[in-house]
Copies of this chain bind each other. A is one copy, B any other.
């Protein structure tokens, strides 16, 4: 069913039909009604590719992320998709699986106008961003979120990584940690470096020595990460606090502590960036720095639409920094041994009835 067939049905020209359907002022109310009714009756829907071709517009955005099976990113997509659906836009998803190569390949695929705009969160390998600069140079609206390319002039939606890392580290220090490890995801990502800087500055502010051994550069290889963490936690001079810059690393740490019988928080206190819904149900409950993932996605989409519609964005939207929240739970709390023992005894008593 296309315009030509409709035009035959109605004995009107194709252009009249098209204009009627698009509610043009050139068409009389009567024929508009007639046309629209017939279109509905025959279940006519404009061919999107013909429209896109003619209008040079796709009503589609792309979201490029490292991985979708991740609470932060899936929530961000949720936000973006919800916003897009309200605007009658379509959302294409691409995963890079933390590989620069994939990111480049996807970028190339999107150079041809398939989408009206792109939201991206960088892979942890992405140091060189020329493939993204190329997109921007082609005039394709581009918005970064969470993991941003600092050297590209495009709107960036982030959270207060430095501040919250500082506060998270400070929290560990105030709870008695003196040897705090930092698990990093990437040494090229600005976000990772900001988090590291917050951590380092907190150490400095409290006159704690920073041990290079305590900074562990992790990556996408889960097994390798676990090995590194295990080595650290098994060493003689091991840390008494740990700051995980992403949730996956905190989970790995929990598993390792179970394995090698370290008690959290007694032997090791943990704070982690995380969007786990179950953080409070973990054993022990996990102290998290939680990012407003849904809002980040929504905001990024919103700014992207501004860019698409106006071809520019007001200064206040250029760099939006949302606040993340430190949610203090048991994994970082300075209970004394006595406290805990008492609690446990009480519990045991309760259980014995």
* Complex Cα gap A50–B48 (Å): 11
0/1 per residue, A26-58, Cβ < 8 Å to B? Answer: 000000000000000001011111101100001
Question: Is A68's CB under 8 angstroms from B58's CB?
Answer: no
Question: Is B340's CB under 8 angstroms from A351's CB?
Answer: yes
* Complex Cα gap A221–B91 (Å): 26
Q: Which of A110-118, A144-152, A310-318 contacts B (4 or more CB under 8 A)?
A: A110-118
Q: Which of A196-204, A228-236, A341-349 contacts B (4 or more CB under 8 A)?
A: A341-349
* Complex Cα gap A251–B281 (Å): 8
Interface size class of A (residues with CB under 8 A): 35 or more
Tell me which residues across on chain B come within 8 A of A92, comparing CB atoms. 60, 90-93
Min distance, Cβ A96 to any Cβ of chain B, angstroms: 10
Taken together, the copies of this chain in the complex come to 2
* Complex Cα gap A58–B285 (Å): 47
Question: Is A43's CB under 8 angstroms from B111's CB?
Answer: yes
- Contacts A49-B52, A90-B92, A255-B281; A341 near B337 (Cβ below 8 A): no
* Complex Cα gap A91–B81 (Å): 13
0/1 per residue, A74-100, Cβ < 8 Å to B? Answer: 110110011001000011111101000
Q: Pick the contact of A348 from B52, B90, B258, B341 — CB < 8 Å?
A: B341
Q: Pick the contact of A112 from B47, B114, B281, B283 — CB < 8 Å?
A: B47
* Complex Cα gap A43–B340 (Å): 65
Min distance, Cβ A193 to any Cβ of chain B, angstroms: 27
Tell me which residues across on chain B come within 8 A of A71, comparing CB atoms. 69
Tell me which residues across on chain B come within 8 A of A25, comparing CB atoms. none
Most buried by B among A53, A58, A340: A53
- Contacts A255-B281, A282-B278, A283-B283; A81 near B95 (Cβ below 8 A): yes
Question: Is B348's CB under 8 angstroms from A348's CB?
Answer: yes
Tell me which residues across on chain B come within 8 A of A292, comparing CB atoms. none
Min distance, Cβ A6 to any Cβ of chain B, angstroms: 14
Q: Pick the contact of A48 from B81, B112, B251, B352 — CB < 8 Å?
A: B112
Can you show 26 pairs from A to B with CB atoms below 8 A apart?
A: A47-B53, A47-B112, A49-B53, A49-B113, A49-B114, A50-B53, A53-B53, A67-B78, A68-B81, A69-B75, A77-B93, A85-B94, A85-B102, A254-B278, A255-B280, A266-B351, A278-B278, A281-B283, A283-B283, A283-B284, A337-B351, A341-B348, A341-B351, A341-B352, A344-B345, A344-B351
In the complex, besides A69-B78, A345-B345, 12 extra interface pairs with C-beta distance below 8 angstroms are A48-B114, A69-B77, A78-B95, A85-B95, A90-B92, A90-B114, A254-B281, A278-B282, A338-B352, A340-B348, A341-B352, A344-B351
The 4 closest A-B pairs by CB, nearest first: A283-B283, A45-B112, A344-B348, A49-B52
Chain A residues engaging chain B, CB cutoff 8 angstroms? 43, 45-50, 52-53, 58, 60, 67-71, 74-75, 77-78, 81-82, 85, 90-95, 97, 102, 108, 111-114, 251, 254-255, 258, 263, 266, 276-278, 280-285, 294, 337-338, 340-341, 344-345, 347-348, 351-353
